[in-house]
Amino acid sequence: MSEESFQSCEEFKAGNAAFFAAFPDLTVTEDGCIAEGNTVVYRHYLIGTHEGEIMGVEPTGIEISLENAGVFRIENKKIVDLYLYADNISLMR
């Protein structure tokens, strides 16, 4: 899995918009969440059809199924850090 860290809300939103544009039928299913102190860790599954360009790859029409995870750090009821662990190798296959 690769790790991604976002520097701003805008960067996070742009990345999500590009992913949802490439996989317009994307479904996200949560598979667990653990919270302790100001840290939240979660795991989720993504399933969708590759119908738009992503990371330089033209649409293939192939359905993807990925398992990803994320770690949030929260301060004053706001997310201040977010790390995503994405299975980009399976995505590129």
pLDDT tens-digit profile, the chain (93 residues): 444 555 677 887 888 899 899 999 999 999 999 999 999 999 999 999 999 998 888 999 999 999 999 999 999 988 888 888 887 777 777
At residue 1, the pLDDT reads 44
Query: Going edge to edge, which strands form the sheet with 63-75?
Result: 2-5, 78-86, 63-75, 39-49, 27-36
At residue 86, the pLDDT reads 81
- Contacts of residue 34, Cβ cutoff 8 Å, sequence gap at least 6: 40, 41, 42
At residue 7, the pLDDT reads 63
State if pTM tops 0.75: no
- At the topology level, CATH places domain 2-92 in Nuclear Transport Factor 2; Chain: A, (3.10.450)
